[in-house]
Amino acid sequence: MSLSMRHLYYLFCLFITFPLIAGESDFVIDSVFLEEVTTYSSYRRFQPGAKIDRIPAAQMQIAQSGNLEEVFSRFTPVYIKGNAGGLSTIRFRGTAPDHTAINFGGININSHTLGHSNMTKIPVFLFDRIDVQYGSSSAINGSGAIGGAIYLEQNHTWTKGVRNYRIYSNGSYGEHFYGEKLYLGNGVWESVTKFYNYENRNRFSFKNPYHNNRFTDPTPIKDRQNGAEVHNRGVLQQFNYLLAPGETLKSSFWYEESWHQVQPNMPSNITYESTAELDNKNFRSWVEYENNSSEIQYKAGAGYVRDRQIYNNINDQLVATERLVTDALVSYSYAPNQELRFGGRYKYIVPDVHAYSRDNIRYEQRAHLFLSWFYEPIKNLKTTINLRQPYVTGFNAPFAPSFMAEYAMNTSEALRTTFNSGVSRSYRIPTLNDRFWGTQGNPNLKSEVGINIEGGVTMLYQPGADYYRLRVNAFYMDVDNWIEWRNFGQWEARNIQKVQSKGMEIQLHAGIEMQSFSLEGGLNYTYNPVKRIKDITASHVNDQQLMYSPLHMGNSFLQMKWREFSCFADLGYTGERYYDNDGNTLPSHVMANSGLSYRLPFNQHSLILMAQVKNLLNEDYQNERYYAMPGRTYHISISFDLNFTQL
């Protein structure tokens, strides 16, 4: 059986067996599913027609010693392009890495120089919830939210007493993780400290076809990866105060240091002598006051961010920025079915980049004015209009409106059907590098501008204690003035493309619970044709699938629990991807992972033992051309939860 046929066989077996397994028993909706459909953050309330998913708590637990790359590549149909050496970027619906907003408090943590974030540097351990928005949301999230948005959320439980959680994890090839959380509080104030340290030597073996004798003997040789070490560590400190019912003061301070060697590609690994390295230090802070005690609600926040990167220990290669962010908003519920929200945001950015001329930029100011209107004209029909107007120093930024709607109906006592739709305009202001990097930056670049149209249906079937949820979304996105760096005699940035992304996303989730046994699982599938429909410099690539954008992606997850034992497995399929403009592709691949855990409770405390096997099939694959990835790896972890809080 060929590789591609074997992949299709695995997927076929999974698709036909899961509904049979899920239909054999009764079960009760668990807290994770209830949390997904009832929790209402402000970005959910004012985007009722948007597709926003929450990473389930069970999956957060499995990936708690990993990073956003792991949780997204295993549990969502979102492509992560990267290597094993500490550099990975996300690509929602075929868009570029700088088309995704990553929100922490009131801050988009993406770099203002590069425009995106390294997914391997963001640990799952620090966050209590991760929400994922598919599609454009610039009217809510501002510049860059063209393909999607990620919300890194914290719980505020107003701890009474002391709680300490620790995890130790070890994996193959020199991977180690240690994390600790300490909660202190008296029900009115709360201190939460989270610390983590991650190391990975990445000394894995792989088959290298690019050896010196490959022209006479094409058989790959066994090689070992060199120069791909990763060290990440950081601390997140929260101080929260419940000043009065409905009145809070919250603050978060996140400092991290991340260092990694620049992984040699396969040909370079043969003759490896040394490699370059990147050292990053990031500080992010956000303080927010919120008052929801009356029909007029208001919130104000301020933050400071410093990002600093040194290349290869050369101080003259400094890339750093500082930014001050402030915002304020007021919400007024002037009728039971209507709410008006308006506000503004100001950002002051100071770059310190070796490749920028101070004659071109010393600082940049950005301001945003926004207005949102929530209206429920009839029962179960929710609509919103969101308007945002950005202003940027010396730059013409586009207006971003959106209209969204959601209608829910009970077609029977057990079946609830929800229809959602939306249309929005999105934009991305060119990064500082795009405009000011040496002689290659282009200060005359235009903003990328996109139109996003989305519609879907969700069917939730709950006969008795069972639930089955089917969700289907269709989308169309058109992005003009797409910016790309290309070699025009020298590498430089230009507005050279118009890109069209469309497709369909299908999700099926179900679960079972009966006495001491429970089962939950799900399937996700994405069909995403994303093409250049106009390229002013390379017309031969028009109508070709965009590079590193799989046409087909899917994954599944299944977890079974019996008393204090749990076993789980997930399977992901990634289709072929173009890696150049000449029609060459990376082959599709299947990634399988499995594991088991045991929880030992004692009073309010617990101890959890977990073992996992990642890349169970020992798949030989690449996420980026010429860069090796680890084969089968083994991971064990032990967690302690010491809980001295009052219930």
Enumerate the domain spans of the chain.
3-643
Q: Running DSSP on this structure, what letter comes out for residue 245?
A: T
Torsion sign, CA atoms 211, 213, 217, 218: positive
CB of 123 closer than 8 Å to CB of 175? no
Tell me if 290 sits within 8 A of 248, measured CB to CB: yes
Tell me the pLDDT band of 9, cut-offs 50, 70 and 90: very low
Q: Which residue has the higher pLDDT, 447 or 214?
A: 447
Question: What pLDDT, on the 0 to 100 scale, is given for residue 156?
Answer: 84
Q: What is the pLDDT of residues 109-127, one digit of tens each?
A: 999 999 999 999 999 999 9
What tokens does 337 get? Answer: 């079915």
As a residue count, the chain comes to 647
Given a contact cutoff of 8 angstroms between Cβ atoms, the answer to whether 309 and 319 are in contact is yes
Evaluate whether 471 touches 504 at the Cβ level (below 8 Å): no
**Residue whose pair of structure tokens reads 């107007």 in the numeric block:** 389
For residue 22, pLDDT over 70 is answered with: no
Q: Which residues contact 41 (CB under 8 A, 6 or more apart)?
A: 131, 151, 153
Q: Give me the DSSP letters along 46-58.
A: T-TTSEEEE--HH
Dist. CA 99–CA 510, nearest whole Å: 32
| 553 band by pLDDT with thresholds 50, 70 and 90 | very high
% of the chain surpassing 90 pLDDT: 78
Q: In sequence order, which ranges of 322-410 are alpha helices (DSSP H)?
A: none
Place of tokens 């070796």: 354
pLDDT at position 538, please? 67
Q: Reduced to 3 states, what is the DSSP secondary structure of residue 604? A: coil
Sign of the alpha-carbon dihedral angle for 437, 443, 445, 450? positive
Q: Do residues 309 and 279 touch, judged by C-beta distance below 8 A?
A: yes
Beta-bridged to residue 248, according to DSSP, are 242, 290
Determine the Cα angle at 103 with ends 119 and 346, to 5°: 130
Instruction: Of 49-58, 215-224, 336-345, 404-413, give the lowest mean pLDDT range.
Output: 215-224
CATH number for the domain running over 3-643: 2.40.170.20
Cα radius of gyration rounded to whole Å, the chain: 25
Are 280 and 100 within 8 A, CB to CB? no
CA pair distance 377, 90, nearest whole angstrom: 38
pLDDT at 57 over 70: yes
pLDDT tens digit string along 227-250? 999 999 999 999 999 999 999 999
Q: What is the mean pLDDT of residues 396-419?
A: 93
What one-character-per-residue DSSP string does 302-323 give?
Answer: EEEEEEEEEETTEEEEEEEEEE
pLDDT classification of 36: cutoffs 50, 70, 90: very low
Average pLDDT over residues 517-521: 90
Residue 464, pLDDT score: 76
**pLDDT of 569-591, one tens digit each?**
999 999 999 998 888 999 999 99
Tell me what the mean pLDDT of segment 378-393 comes to: 96
The three-class DSSP label of residue 129 is strand
Tokens 């409905």 sit on residue: 246
N- to C-terminal Cα distance for the chain? 57
Examine the pLDDT at 38 and tell me if it is beyond 80.
Answer: no
Per-residue pLDDT band for 539 (boundaries 50, 70, 90) equals low
pLDDT at 16 over 60: no
The strand pairing partners of 80, in sequence order, are: 90
pLDDT of residue 506: 96
Task: Give whole-number Cα distances, 612 to 80, 184, 591, in Å.
Answer: 21, 32, 14
Q: Which tens digits make up the pLDDT trace of 61-113?
A: 999 999 999 999 999 999 999 899 788 999 999 999 999 999 999 999 999 99
Report the distance separating Cα 134 and Cα 79, nearest Å. 13
Residue 34 has pLDDT above 90, yes or no: no
Predicted confidence at residue 463, as pLDDT, reads: 83
Asked if residue 534 lies in contact with residue 524, where contact means CB atoms within 8 angstroms, the answer is no
User: Which is nearest to 433 in space by CA: 360, 502, 381?
Assistant: 360
Which position has the higher pLDDT, 614 or 212?
614
| Mean pLDDT of the chain, nearest integer | 90
Burial 147-162 (b: 16+ CB within 10 A, else e): bbbbbbbbeeeebbee
Across residues 187-206, what is the average pLDDT?
96
Determine if residue 618 is left, alpha or beta; phi over 0 gives left, psi from -120 to 50 gives alpha, anything else beta.
left
Q: How far apart are CA 314 and CA 308, in angstroms?
A: 13
